[in-house]
Structure 1
Amino acid sequence: MNRLKKHSIHYLQVGLLLLSLCLTLAPLQWSHAEPKAEISLQEATDTALKQFGGEVIKSESNKQNGTPVYVIRLLSNGRVKEVHIDSQSGKVIAPNKE
């Protein structure tokens, strides 16, 4: 019986060790799942308007090469300009004329 208690305690210790390891690593995995936006869609829209002018016809969040971006479509002088803004840094990635 004494031998059984030793094994039970050993298995319990190993189980607790594994559980604590899983609980420690789990937040690390979740934190890399989806980067949080540092700027809002409104801030991205304001940046696009300030730099390129025009009227906003559409704004949305998207991904570009795995990077979260805001896509702002502006209408100016009868032309549509699509502006991509990095949602983490707030920097303009690329304006594309359509």
Structure 2
Amino acid sequence: MTDTDCPHPLSRRDAAALIGILANLEGLVWVSRIDDDDVEMLRGRLKQDGATTPVSAGAGPRVQLRQALNDLNQRLRYTLGEYNSPPDPEPVPR
């Protein structure tokens, strides 16, 4: 099985729900509604699962988490057919 294989793909409804949740979570991180301990816990989980993307030097933990959430969100959008090919990561605003 490769990284792109999924034995039981998500339903469109579940993928759409996750896209919304990720977008809201990214927004909460951006406006500091999530405390630093939770930011670190979420970053650790995404790193453990290999769902992180390198960010520019000097990016703090919140930017790193937002980048990982945004990139994961875009990959989910690809699975729904919103893009013809997997999107390249684009830096989130700081």
Query: For the superposition of Structure 1 and Structure 2, which TM-score range results when normalised by the shorter chain?
Result: under 0.3
> Is the radius of gyration larger for structure 1 or structure 2?
1
If the length of structure 2 is used for normalisation, what is the TM-score? Answer: 0.25
Structure with the largest fraction of strand? 1
Q: From the two aligned structures, give the one with the greater helix fraction.
A: 2
